[in-house]
Amino acid sequence: MKNKRIGLALATTFMSSLSLAGEHIIYELDGQAYEGYWSKTDNTAPLVLLVHDWDGLTEYEEERAEMLNTMGYNVFAVDLFGQDVRPTKVEDKKQHTGELYKDRAKLQALMNAGLAEAGKLGGNLDNTVVMGYCFGGAAVLESARAGMTAKGFVTFHGGLQTPKGQNYAQTKAPIMVLHGTADAAIPMSQFADLAVELEQNNISHEMITYSGAPHAFTVFGSKNYREDADKKSWMAFSEFLVAKTGK
């Protein structure tokens, strides 16, 4: 019955546009304002903490949040850049992501702040899965390595390389990696290295590749969008959510 519900949700979301009904939430870390997106379906629902790519939190993440609502999950989309910081130029995107890659402590603090804010809004911190896209995927793995408490961590075409001095010794939950074999930004060598590292650390993991799928293959309307890989990866993610949250 659960798989049937997932399939119905997928069919609905991919065949029609969604009416976004969430709300923008302003919260602070170290005196700086951040603007997340809270999309709620039910007080008792599991929580998905969603992390944006290098564009910042945009309508794309909001739409994914609403898709998750139709499947029975509450969602808080975190903001890692700051209120009104939504870069459009490549050089600006590189600047904002680069700053956080160089300051891993701040990146971890931002992820923790987003999770804490989700809890204040009523998100179930005892039944949470953390997921992200591209840069957001790298942030998700950062949180996994830092020992964030969650039921699982999921990355879509995300950064996979482990920074020097870090490891998965503190990771508390399974990891799912959804990746395109045609990804020129994050090569398959990094995918393989991560698989070896997770195995060596006895971290439960599922890693799936999609042939012909380039970087950012899930981004609707982009030149890199691949419908087949997007639908298959979303279904795999949906099944992971059911298995880890019981929803």
Q: What percent of the chain has pLDDT over 90?
A: 91
Number of helices and strands (H, E) in the chain? 7, 8
| Residue the block writes with tokens 């979301």 | 13
Taken in order of first residue, the domains within the chain and their CATH numbers are 2-13+22-245 (3.40.50.1820)
Q: How far is the CA of 168 from the CAs of 76, 101, 201, in angstroms?
A: 25, 17, 6
pLDDT tens-digit readout, 149-181: 999 999 999 999 999 999 999 999 999 999 999
pLDDT above 60 for 13: no
Instruction: Give the pLDDT of residue 242.
Output: 98
Q: Is 221 exposed, middle or buried (0-12, 13-18, 19+ CB in 10 A)?
A: exposed
CB 142 within 8 A of CB 115: no
Grade residue 11 by pLDDT with cuts at 50, 70 and 90: very low
68-107 per-residue burial string, b: 16 or more CB within 10 A, e: under 16: bbebbbbbbbbbbbebebbbeeeebbeebbeebbeeeeeb
Give 176-208 as a DSSP string.
EEEEETT-SSS-HHHHHHHHHHHHHTT--EEEE
CA atoms within 13 A on the CB side of 138: 20
Taking each helix axis as running N to C, give the angle between helix 90-102 and helix 135-145, from 0 to 180 degrees, rounded to the nearest 10.
Answer: 10
The stretch 55-82 carries a mean pLDDT of: 97
Task: Give the pairing of strands 46-51 and 74-78.
Answer: parallel
For residue 209, what are the β-bridge partners? 179
The stretch 124-147 carries a mean pLDDT of: 98
Which one-letter amino acid corresponds to residue 68?
L
Instruction: Give the pLDDT of residue 2.
Output: 44
pLDDT tens-digit readout, 71-129: 999 999 999 999 999 999 999 999 999 999 999 999 999 999 999 999 999 999 999 99
pLDDT above 80 for 21: no
Grade residue 10 by pLDDT with cuts at 50, 70 and 90: low
